[in-house]
Amino acid sequence: MSALDFDLIAPEVIAGIRVMPELHERVDIAGLARRVLAEINPDVVAVELPTTFAQPAATAVARLPKISAVVSEEPGEDALVWVVTPGDPLVEAMRWAKENYRGTFLIDPDVRYGSRRRDHLPDPHALHSMGADRYTDLLRRLAERTTHDDGDRLREKGMAHNLQQLAGDVDGTVLALIGAAHVLRVSKLLSGPTAPPLARRRRTHVSVRHLHPDSLTAILPDPSLAHGVWEMLRRDGVPA
């Protein structure tokens, strides 16, 4: 079965842009992302990470398989943290782009995040028992019901604008990996006019920190062993 038969890719609402919903830090979705990347073979990869994280994100991804945390601690704000693991779909997309000499762009505008919440989305391991079609249909339906606030809407408008700008500058296909909770609204926004978001352009306190292996079990949604197996499969040339 072709990766595109999974119906993970939204319609091309604007020429040259394809959008894939993903679940952060989940190894099963990283494998699916790899298949989609191989099928589409995009000229540019876009990922849902803050635009201000570009350099530290590249540094952390280059450190793999050592697991890092990109941490920003701006005065008066909660810390913003991204744990960089081999089995994160966003990481897989960034690594694929580097290995295939493609550009990578971060498209999430750096706006003040709202309160953290847990979206009720299906366990990605169910992909193997349900089959891709049923799983992605459930993922789409549940993601559409997730609550969102003004901060989410601002981020989604910003991602749509950044994608439109990127597509205008690229001669070829852009594949964007966006969290499932946002992907439908971003896709709809792409079909109309957008405006640049009022967002932070840079952060003054961003660092890349090594995480001790003993802490990984408490931090990662998937077992650290799963990420280790995925890293070995990648190294040995796991088929897409």
What pLDDT is stored for residue 236 in this prediction? Answer: 83
What pLDDT is stored for residue 197 in this prediction? Answer: 83
Residue 74 pLDDT grade (very low, low, confident, very high; cuts 50, 70, 90): confident
Mean pLDDT of 108-115: 76
pLDDT digits 0-9 by tens, 126-136: 777 787 677 77
Q: Is residue 53 scored above 50 in pLDDT?
A: yes
Mean pLDDT of 207-218: 90
Mean pLDDT of the chain: 85
CA–CA gap between residue 10 and residue 109 (Å, rounded): 21
Residue by residue, DSSP assigns 47-84 as EEEEGGGHHHHHHHHHHTTS-EEEEE--TTS--EEEEE
pLDDT digits 0-9 by tens, 138-195: 777 777 777 778 888 899 999 999 999 999 998 899 999 998 888 888 988 998 889 8
What pLDDT is stored for residue 113 in this prediction? Answer: 64
Task: Compute CA 70 distance to the chain's CA centroid, rounded to the nearest angstrom.
Answer: 15
Radius of gyration of the chain (CA): 17
pLDDT digits 0-9 by tens, 4-39: 444 444 545 567 899 888 888 899 889 889 988 999
CA–CA gap between residue 224 and residue 218 (Å, rounded): 10
What pLDDT is stored for residue 115 in this prediction? Answer: 54
Task: Write down the pTM of the prediction.
Answer: 0.87
What pLDDT is stored for residue 1 in this prediction? Answer: 37
Mean pLDDT of 103-124: 77
What pLDDT is stored for residue 152 in this prediction? Answer: 87
CA–CA gap between residue 12 and residue 19 (Å, rounded): 8
